[in-house]
Amino acid sequence: MKSARVRGFTLIELLVVIAIIAILIALLLPAVQQAREAARRTQCRNNLKQLGLAMHNYHDNYQMFPWLKGGTGMGRSSSDVCRNEDTINGFVFILPYIDQAPLYNQLSQRTGAVSGCTATTTEAFGAPRDFSYFAWGVRLPALLCPSSPDGLLYGGSSFFQGQRDYGMCMADTIANNQSIRNGRGIFGYQSSNGMKNITDGTSNTILLGEKCKGNSANSIFGIGAQSVSGLNTSPAGCLAANNKGTFATGYTGQSSRPLGALWASGLSSHAGFNTVLPPNSPTCLADAYGDSWALVSAQSYHTGGVHVLMADGAVRFVSENIDTGNVWAPEVTTGASPYGVWGALGTMGAGETVGEF
């Protein structure tokens, strides 16, 4: 009796099947990646919407938006850790409106929690760079864009896990933007701007925008170029720091103090951004560390531009090819912004007419 003959696959047939599967995977993978990025972009927009709602709720209670930078008095964290160096940003003050009331209460009621402070000398919110207080290292999902990779840590310390991918609009105010009150943008040092100040219209004025973390010492994203001069007289000079997304020869990034590493810091280089250079341009610091003023660019890891939140609560995607006018022009303190549509979107009361963007 003859046994039934079982026919298997030949080697060539197996190779053909494997090749077909590989081709299908190669065709489908970009589509899957695009779908994932689309989901991340949607989450990023939702984050900005929630932050915008929190800003508006704060405004409803206090008739103004929180400041970019301020706090409980001057003092250096190394010699007077009881104070916060006037460097607390507005995100701290909207914590109760983004489901973080317990964290806000812990921060605002803090007493005697650090070496050198007593219950009678410690001021509310403590020192923002105090390594012994856990709150400055808390990671807040509402402040993180899902398209942005984990960033470099401040000073390389694992304490500073609390990072941020969003910033407050300083418009085209460049020189001394770490200390100017009520500048041309909604946010500034101890500023008290509200809806009444946005005479250009809330749909034409940027409130918040993306300002991503830095995850590479040589990348222009989330890292500032050190000690660049002439930032306020010819902002275009900062563009020379960029060489295809990395720092050009002659420019050094301040990677030990990445710009998204301190979620609560109100220093202009950390918390704010300018509407001067196109989105995804480099950021340049007037000093070596980012403690002084800076020309800060909006940045994101989304392809082609950044999300911004308008003062009316709408989220828009701004192309990195948006009209920026004359970026070689010196900054102005009155009148229309010289930096095109992008500059006009940042100013709150300069009288510009903004078209489609």
Q: In which element (H, E) is residue 317 found? A: strand 315-319
Query: Can you give the pLDDT at residue 216?
Result: 93
Whether the Cβ atoms of residue 232 and residue 180 lie closer than 8 Å to each other:
no
> Per the confidence metrics, is the pTM higher than 0.85?
yes
Q: Both tokens of residue 226?
A: 């050190």
Query: Can you give the pLDDT at residue 341?
Result: 97
Query: Can you give the pLDDT at residue 302?
Result: 95
DSSP 19: H
Q: Report the candidate in 340, 201, 352 with the shortest Cα–Cα distance to residue 278.
A: 340
Interacting residues of 21 by C-beta distance below 8 A, sequence separation 6+: none
Residue type, 121: T
Query: Can you give the pLDDT at residue 76?
Result: 40
Query: Can you give the pLDDT at residue 3?
Result: 54
CA–CA dist 339, 171 (Å, integer): 10
DSSP 255: T
Query: Can you give the pLDDT at residue 105?
Result: 80
Determine how β-strand 166-169 pairs with β-strand 242-243: unpaired
Query: Can you give the pLDDT at residue 5?
Result: 57
Query: Can you give the pLDDT at residue 113?
Result: 44
Query: Can you give the pLDDT at residue 6?
Result: 54
Q: Both tokens of residue 177?
A: 């933007």
Query: Can you give the pLDDT at residue 312?
Result: 96
Query: Can you give the pLDDT at residue 208?
Result: 98
Is the torsion defined by CA of 319, 222, 126, 157 positive or negative?
positive
CA–CA dist 292, 290 (Å, integer): 5
Q: Report the candidate in 173, 169, 196, 174 with the shortest Cα–Cα distance to residue 184.
A: 173
Q: What is the pLDDT along the chain (357 residues), one digit of tens a residue?
A: 455 555 666 878 788 888 888 888 887 777 767 778 889 999 999 999 999 999 999 999 999 999 999 876 544 444 444 556 778 899 999 999 999 998 888 777 654 445 445 444 444 455 555 555 667 778 999 999 999 999 999 888 887 888 999 999 999 999 999 999 999 999 999 999 999 999 999 999 999 999 999 999 999 999 999 999 999 999 999 999 999 999 999 999 999 999 999 898 899 999 999 999 999 999 999 999 998 999 999 999 999 999 999 999 999 999 999 999 999 999 999 999 999 999 999 999 999 988 788
Query: Can you give the pLDDT at residue 7?
Result: 63
Q: Could you give the dihedral angle defined by the CA atoms of residues 191, 152, 218 and 239, in that order, rounded to the nearest 10 degrees?
A: -20
Q: Report the candidate in 224, 220, 219, 217 with the shortest Cα–Cα distance to residue 288.
A: 224
